[in-house]
Each structure stands twice: as structure tokens, then as C-alpha cells.
Amino acid sequence: MDVDISAHNIIADMSGVDFLLFYGCIITITLLTCWKLVKDPTKNQPLPLIPHELDAYEIAYLRSGISEVAKVVIFNLIQSGYLQLTGQRINRISNQDDLSQLKPIECEVVSAISYSYEPKVFISSISQKLEQYCAVYKQRLNNEQLLYLDNWQKSNITIVLIGAIIIFGLGAYKLLLALAKRHHNIGFLIAMGVVSTLFLLWLVTKHSRISYRGQAYLQQLQETFLQLKTKVRFAIPSMADYSLAVGVFGVETLAGTSYDSYYKVFFPPQIARTTDRNSSSDGSSGGSSCNSGSSCNSGSSCSSGSSCGGGGCGGCGGGGD
Amino acid sequence: MLSHLPNLGVGLGFREVCKSDLFLNRQQVDFLEIVVEHYLDVSSPKQQELEILAQHFPIIPHGINLSLGSAEGLDRDYLRKLAPLINQLNPPWWSEHICFTRAGGVDIGHLSPLPYTKEAVEVVCRNIAEVRRWFDVPLILENITYMVTLPGAEMTEAQFLTEILERSDCGLLLDVTNLHTNAVNHGYDVLDFLGELPSQRVVQLHFVGGHWYDGVLIDSHSQPTPTEVWQLMAEVVDRFPVKGIVLERDENFPPFGELVAELQQARQILRSHT
Amino acid sequence: MALAETQKLLARLYTNTEFRERFFANPQAVGAELGLSDDESHQLAQLSVQDVNLFANSLKWKRLGEVRQFLPRTHLALGKNFNALFWKYAESYIPSGIKKHRQDAIAFADFIAKVARDEGIEPPWVGDLVRYEQTWVLAYPASIYLRVRWFRYPVHQPENLDICIAKPTILVWWRFLGRLRLLSMRL
């Protein structure tokens, strides 16, 4: 079938090579523009202050969503004696019927445990129910722009669509013209279109659920409360210390503590070795990493308290031997 | 000028080991005192730590290495690094010590006493004047403990401090633990000492506990505050318009609740005398 | 009395045992070396030897306390020998500047490594251990860092130290603007 597209314009009349160069420039400009416009507006915003009263559930929600909140809730219920871990399963402790001291989300979890469950399975099943309780965390985090907001994503999709229309429109037009003139050397044209598509798709999907501000804030929390990791392992932490540690760092922080069994439910021993990130504080096994902001192996290089009270410092009392 | 300084309340000397507990007990700490040297020539995470602290607490920088008593003059490289930090923090005041820490290319490594002479007063005042050419934030000066009593004194320690404070128009960071330690080790009366101090220049206090070693009281900053220091603090607060009190624990940290209890006791003393 | 000269003398008295002994044995002669007059030297000779020694010792204890924080595992491995070695080392090097304690730790680590190599001290892996800890201290402030070191013992695995047998290992420390990482390769 012959299609007579009698088009005479600058694009239609371009030779193949010239058009490819022109198309390449259009694609580059369009993609760069999209990349510039598709961004997280929180990138250089100042961070919110760390609140006086920290909510471990809210922090867990920020970190990884509802399933992490569930892990912290279950852990707190184990701590406070409403649930117990028997082997790899959790079950309710029968003589704990008074739920009046519990938060609504905790009541929901306790009430949902009618017999013994594997925690991972239980969390999957209860996540939907917990969504309503986590809505308040989501709202607070959205208000602070710590989560990637839906309307930013909608605006990103719009930008990418416009870019796609420009790229495909131009490419499709030239493709049709080429086919009409029975030109079959269209491989480069198609390839450029496909690569552009992939880039645009990446642009629109690359963001995490946490905004830049949220990631920076979470990192700030983790650096501020880093000592909690040591406290839960080597000191006498309170329930609140444990709860906050798990909220901020995850269940991994319970490794080697009194609640090591809970940690092992989610990180069975063969997985624990390859994901252990806690060895940096006293030397490291192969492939481990050390947070540059933390005490690396040899203790902090600049945090030792300097006795500045004058002559006669602490060392004198160490006993000379 | 010193009377216009704000009342900061009761604070804590910041030590990284207490950081988590500090943020979990923010309401118990009115302000923080940071050791300046911990934030000079440091990595980006350490700078960020200071920024986070400054966002959450009023900060008072406390220097330990400027060696204001050095007759050979100040270390200009050190000043070059110190000035931006002080300006960045923009504190109501900052503090250093009446001492020297280096001479003849030797870094002593600790605060060493000056002879109580007119020449030493002259040297300290000259050095303070130079500091003021770099930045002009109100400076308060701390009394140190000393094991060595230098011969040739022309005045008492209290007179020496007063002379420096008046001539350089600085405030006094009265370390009550140091005062108690010196009084015990060198046998003088703290009340006589307090009587010689310029009453309007006492801006801030330090307190903490030390320990005994071989018959000498050591200001190790490692123990709970003893009764005698609490009593001395009450006496000082009764006499002078103190703007801030800092617990300066450096070692042997107890559970944070014990530090909070000491802060509360200091706060009670401050409130009952104002 | 010239305060500058007095302070120079005091600084040396506080930090140099040999100088301190010489001064108190013959204050006029030693004072003259630093430009002090006989009267000035005589006045300083009135310093209490006991007090000066006490202060000088306290300075070393302070340095020791700081260095211990940089080399905690070496301190644990050496026990009381750590203090004894530090006392030998402390006269030979006086650190200065803002990062003096870090410098002190690095220099002391070199000293321990040398003694371990030349004189052999127990435990046999302590020379490797101190070099390992020293490397962390060196690496800590740098935003870009790469160091490859060879060790006879797997000192990066603390749980093995009680039954430490020689297992030649190469360790690589590296950082490029982010976290400091350690890679190990068993030979």
C-alpha cells in the first residue's frame, strides 16, 4: 500500500543522518530538561528538629513502612509481656488480658494473635489492618516532607509524559515518513527511542519512598542515637531504649542482646553473617564497612573527654605500676 | 556588658559518649558546653554533629589550648582555626583558661599555672587583646587547679584573677571544684578567696567530682559531685549573679539519670538563690 | 623574671625527666642554658620536686589515657605492659597541636611495632594488632583513603585472637567520600 504523505517541511526533508543528529539533540535537551524538573524539592531544605518525645513507630514507618512498624510493635509486646517468642513462633501470653495500657496499634496486634504464628507470616497478614493506624505517621511525615509526596510523583509523571510526547512524536513522525518512502534503515531511530524511553521510565521511578529530607533526617537520627546500639548490647537498657533502637535501626540491632532470638527470626544465622554491619566497632571481618561518623574500631579519634580542670587529671589516679 | 549576658540555666559539658542519652533527656539540659578542640580540623560528620547540637541547644565553646598565659604570644594558626568556629556558633560568650600550655616549642599537654605576678597579668591581657582582634565575643576565663606552686608570687591567686579580669574586661568561669581542690591541696580558705573576687564578673560555674590519690585531691572529673562542692556552689550562687552552671563530667560515666540528678540539684541551687 | 624563659624551663621540667633531674641537681647551670640569671634559677629551684614530679607524671598518665582510647585492643592484649611501654616511649616524643593525642597514638603504635619486631613481646600477634589499630586511626579523618597492609595474623577477626595462629592476610582500607571500608584477603 502506498501512503502518500506529501509533507514538505524542514524535518520531513532532512536526510537520515541529519535527522538522527537533530533527533539526538532534541532527545538530549528533552531528557536533561526532564531530569532537571523531575527532582526532589526537599534536597537542600533544613532538617526538622529531633523531637523531645520520639515515637519509635513513626521512625520505623519512615525507615521502611508498615512491616517495620509491625516488627517494632511485636517486639514491644514481647518486652511488655503480652506476647512471647517460642522457638520461631509468637503467641499471646494467656494471662495478659488487660489491654488498657496499650496503644491502639498494639491492641490490634495483640487481638489478632489467636494462636501461634511465625512473625514474618503474621506481619504479612496484618499489614493491611495496620495501615489505618500508620496513617497518622504517614500524615505527620508528609507534613514535614520526609516522605516522597504523591503530588510530586504526579507532577513528575506529567513532566515525563510531555518529554515522551516530544520524543516519540518527533520520532514517530519521521518513522512514518521513512516507512512511506520505503526506507528501512530505521534501526538507529528506534534504538534512540527505546533508550530515551528507558531513561524516562527510570526518571519517574528512581525516587525512593523517602524524600531527600527524610533520608537526611533518618541518617541524623541514626547518627545521634548510635550509642543505643552499644547500650542494648553491653549496658542495661530500658524498654524505651530497646524500642527506640529497633525503631531507628531495625531488628538487626537486637543481635547479641537478650532479644537475640527475635532478631534471628528475621535473620537466620546463615543470612546474619553476610549482612552483619555491626563489626566495625571492634575490628572488621572481610567486606564490612565502618560509618565514618562512628567510632571505628579503635574508639573515636576525637571524642575523648578532655579533662580541662587544671593540673592533676584523671590519669594520676590510675595508680602507678 | 556582662550583666547583659543571658541566663542560660544549667548545662552539660558535651561528650560524644552521652549523645544518645542527651537527646533522650533534652529537657533536662538547658545548654551545652563544647570543647573547641573537638571541632577544629575535623571531618564532615563531626562538623555535622556540631551543627545538630547547635540546632537543638544553646552552645558555649570552651577552649583548652589557646594558652592565654604564653609569654611568647598566641599560636596564630590556632587562632585562624578558632575564629571561624566561634563566629559560626555566635555564642553569648566563650571561655578559656588562665594558664599556659606550651612554651619553647614544647606542648605541655595540660593547663599549667602561671606565677601570680604583674608580668603574667600583662601577658594574659596582651594575649586577650590580640584574640579580640580576631573575634569579639565576650570571653570568660576559668581558674585552674595546680599541683605546682610557682615561687615569686606578688599577689594571691584571687588577686591575680581579679587583676586580669578587671584589666581585660572579661568574665570569670569559676570552677568551684577546682577552687575546692586547690583549697584542700594548698590549705587556704575558700570564703577568703571568694571575698576577693569581683562580684559582677562571675558569669558561669563548672562543677564535678574528683578523687583522692596518695593524699592529694585530683580533679579527675570522674566522680559524683561531693557535698563540699555543692555547699560551695550554694555559697557562690548566693554571692554572685551567675548566668550558667555546667556539669563537667569527663570520665567514668554513670547512667545518664545520675547526671540528670546532678543537673537538677544544681538547678535547685540556682533557683533558690535567684 | 623573664616570664618567657621561665615558661620554657617549666615546659621542659614538666615533660623531660632527664632535664628535670639535671635542673634540680644543678639549677644555676641548667637555668643558664635557657638564659636565666642565677637569681631566677635559684628562685625556680625552690619549686617542690615532689610537686613537679607529681605533675609531670600526671601529664604522662593523661597522655596514656588518651592513647588507650585510640588503641583499645592493643591495650587489652598487652595489659600492664602497655603502660610500661608507654613510659619508655613517652620521653622520646612530645606531641603537639590540636590533634596531639591522635599523633601520640600513631607514634606510640610505631614504637610498639618496633619493639615487637626487634625484641619480641607477648602475645606474638601484638605487632600486627597495633599496626591494624594504627591504620584505623590514620584512616579515620581522611575523606579519601587507600591503604593495603599485610599481616601474619588475622587480627581483623577479634574472636580468633585467643587461639591466634598465623594466617597471612592482606587487608585493604579504602574510602572514597563515603564510609570507610575494610576488605580482607586470606593468603
Residues C141 and C82 in one domain: yes
Chains interfacing with B (3 or more CB pairs < 8 Å): A, C
pLDDT of residue A246: 97
The DSSP H or E segment spanning A196 is helix A187-205
Which range among A193-202, B137-146, C108-117 shows the weakest confidence by mean pLDDT?
Answer: A193-202
CB contact under 8 A, C69 and A311: no
> Which residues make Cβ contacts (< 8 Å) with residue A57, sequence separation at least 6?
A69, A72, A73, A105, A134, A137, A247
Same domain, residue pair C10 and C75: no
Same-domain check for residues C42 and C65: no
B219 and A309 within 8 Å at the Cβ level: the answer is yes
In total, the C-beta contacts within 8 angstroms joining chain A to chain B are: 141
Give pLDDT tens digits for A33-49.
Answer: 998 888 788 988 999 99
pLDDT tens digit sequence for C128-183: 999 999 999 999 888 788 999 999 988 888 665 555 678 888 999 998 877 778 88
- Tell me the chain C residues in contact with residue A300 when contact means C-beta distances shorter than 8 Å: 69
What mean pLDDT is reported for chain C? 91
pLDDT at B245 over 60: yes
Which one has a higher pLDDT value, C111 or A169? C111
Q: Do C174 and C162 share a structural domain?
A: yes
Residue A98: pLDDT band with limits 50, 70, 90 = confident
- d(C-alpha C151, C-alpha C131), whole Å: 9
User: For B196-214, what is each residue's pLDDT tens digit?
Assistant: 999 999 999 999 999 998 8
Residues with Cβ within 8 Å of residue C119, at least 6 apart in sequence = none
Indicate the residue type of C124: P
Residues C41 and C103 in one domain: no
The domain of B186 spans 2-272
Domain hosting residue C24, numbered range: 1-47
Cβ <8 Å between C182 and A292: no
> Cβ contacts (< 8 Å) between A291 and chain B: which residues?
45
pLDDT of residue B43: 85
Residue numbers in B near A240 (CB within 8 A)? 24
- pLDDT value, residue A9: 79
Mean pLDDT of B167-179: 98
Kindly list the residues from chain C whose CB atom is less than 8 angstroms away from the CB atom of residue B149.
Answer: 48, 51
User: Does residue A282 sit at the C interface (CB-CB below 8 Å)?
Assistant: yes
First CA to last CA distance, chain B: 20
Contact C183, C172 (CB under 8 A): yes
Is residue B18 very low, low, confident or very high in pLDDT (cuts 50, 70, 90)? very high
State whether A315 and C63 contact (CB < 8 Å).
yes
Judgement on whether residues C113 and C102 belong to the same structural domain of the protein: yes
- Residues C150 and C111 grouped into a single domain: yes
How distant is the Cα of C170 from the closest Cα of chain B, in angstroms? Answer: 27
Residues 24-53 of A with CB under 8 A from B: 47, 49-50, 52
Place of cell 565575643: B137
Under 8 Å CB pairs connecting chains B and C tally to 95
CB spacing of B146 vs A311 below 8 angstroms: yes
Name the neighbours of A, counting chains with at least 3 Cβ pairs within 8 A.
Answer: B, C
Compare all CA atoms of chain C with the CA of B115 and give the residue at the minimum distance: C3
The mean per-residue pLDDT over the stretch A228-245 comes to: 93
Cell of A58: 513513626
C-alpha pair distances (Å), A70 with each of A251, A257, B193, C143: 11, 20, 62, 38
Q: Do A293 and B17 touch (CB under 8 A)?
A: no
Nearest to C98 among B65, B104, B108 (CB): B65
* Minimal Cβ distance to B37: which of C4, C96, C98: C98
β-pairing, C180-186 vs B94-97, is unpaired
First to last CA, chain C: 65
> Could you tell me which chains touch chain C, where touching means 3 or more CB pairs under 8 A?
A, B
CATH number at B214 reads: 3.20.20.150
**Chain-centre distance for alpha carbon C97:** 14
Which distant-in-sequence residues (6+ apart) come within 8 Å of C77 by Cβ? C123, C125, C126, C129, C161
Based on the fold, state whether residues C147 and C61 are members of the same structural domain: yes
User: Pick from B21, B35, B145: which is nearest to A309 by CB?
Assistant: B145
User: Cβ of C51 under 8 Å from any chain B Cβ?
Assistant: yes
In the block, residue with C-alpha cell 560515666: B253
Report pLDDT digits (tens) over C52-87: 999 999 999 999 999 999 999 999 999 999 999 999
pLDDT tens digits along B260-271: 999 999 999 999
In the predicted structure, residue A187 carries a pLDDT above the cut 90: no
C107 with C160, same domain: the answer is yes
Q: Does C57 touch chain B (CB under 8 A)?
A: no
Q: Which residue of A has its CA nearest to C106?
A: A301
The total domain count for chain C is: 2
* Domains in chain B, number: 1
Closest approach of C5 to chain B, Cα-based (Å): 8
**Same structural domain for residues C140 and C61?**
yes
Q: How close A289 gets to chain C, by Cα (Å)?
A: 4
Considering only CB atoms, A291 lies closest to which of C59, C61, C179, namely C179
